[in-house]
Amino acid sequence: MSANLTSHTDTELFGMMQRQADRAEQAFGVLYERHRQWVYAYILKVTGRADEAADVFQEVFLRLVRAAEQNRSEEVANLPGLLMRITRNLCLNHVRDRKEMVELEDLHLVTDQQSTYERDELLGLISMALDTLEVEYREAFVMRLYHDLSYDEIARVTGSTVPAAKNRVWRAKERIKQLLAPVLAEFERL
């Protein structure tokens, strides 16, 4: 059923959600399949918690549907941009409400271990290192290194400037590299 719509662009699919009630469900299914992975990865990395990520993730797509229902005339030419804005805003709300961060000592306790790390443990360390960053740095780092957004795009999404975006990514990267230095070589073996 939805396979018939897979060749449509994001804009066309969102337009169906806005104006074609009989095809809205299928169109949403295709859009969801197309974007769910990066949306979830972004939320997981920025919030740092799977349970919160699940809540935010659901809310993102509920809001996408709501956006289509509430605005049936305006064409959305850049659906990923819209999704990213929704996702980022919801993530920021969650993270700022939480206002708690991983203690650096906790991370050092883990990274100081000299044993061979398991894959999941190593990958978990990245999340812990991300959690030590201020959310502005964390989201810039995730957008750039995880999702390959350009600095121009990062600046637009975050409402900052390109130099500021570059600086945030650089400082976040330095911080994470410093924190993970004892175990970075282990990643090569994964």
Partner 1 sequence: MNDPRTIHDYLDGSLSAAEEEALFISLAASDDARVELRSQVRLHHAVKKDLASVVVPPSLDAAVFERLGYAVPPALATPLSVATPNHSSRRRSWLALLLLLLGGATGAGLMWLGLQSPHNGAGPVRARAELPSPAPAAPAPTSAQRIESVSAQHESPNAGRAATSLTDVRDEAAQTQHLTTDVDTISAPDDDPAPVTASWTPIPTVMISPVHTLPDQIRPGASIINEPLTVHTRGPWSVMLDGRALFAGSPTLEETDQGISQRDQFTVGVGYDVSALGRISVLGGRQIMPQEFLRFEDGRNVYYRQAPNLWWVGVGYQRALPELRVADIVVPMATATLGWMETGPMARVGAGIMILPDAPISLQLGIEGTMMAYPIQSVFYTSTAWSATYGVRVRF
Range 10-69, binding partner 1 (CB under 8 A): 10-11, 25, 28-30, 32-38, 40-41, 44-45, 54, 57-58, 61-62, 65
Of the candidates 84, 90, 128, 133, which one interacts with partner 1 according to CB under 8 A?
84
Minimum Å distance from CB 133 to partner 1? 13
Kindly state the number of chain residues that form the binding site for partner 1, as judged by CB under 8 A: 71
Of the candidates 4, 74, 104, 106, which one interacts with partner 1 according to CB under 8 A?
74
Contacts of 119 (CB under 8 A, 6+ apart): 190
Distance from C-alpha of 36 to C-alpha of 57, rounded to nearest angstrom = 8
Question: Which of positions 123-162 make contact with partner 1 (CB under 8 A)?
Answer: 123, 126-127, 145-150, 152-153, 156-157
Distance from C-alpha of 186 to C-alpha of 190, rounded to nearest angstrom = 7
Minimum Å distance from CB 146 to partner 1? 5
DSSP letters spanning the chain = -GGGGTTS-HHHHHHHHHH-HHHHHHHHHHHHHHHHHHHHHHHHHHH--HHHHHHHHHHHHHHHHHHHHH-SSS--S-HHHHHHHHHHHHHHHHHHHH-----HHHHHHHHT--SPPPHHHHHHHHHHHHHTS-HHHHHHHIIIIIT---HHHHHHHHT--HHHHHHHHHHHHHHHHHHHTTTHHHHTT-
Nearest residue (CB) to partner 1, 99 versus 120: 120
Question: Which of positions 96-115 make contact with partner 1 (CB under 8 A)?
Answer: none
Of the candidates 13, 122, 135, 165, which one interacts with partner 1 according to CB under 8 A?
122
Nearest residue (CB) to partner 1, 90 versus 180: 180
Is residue 89 within the footprint of partner 1 (CB under 8 A)? Answer: no
Is residue 181 within the footprint of partner 1 (CB under 8 A)? Answer: yes
Name the segment binding partner 1 (CB under 8 A); options: 83-91, 92-100, 101-109, 132-140: 83-91
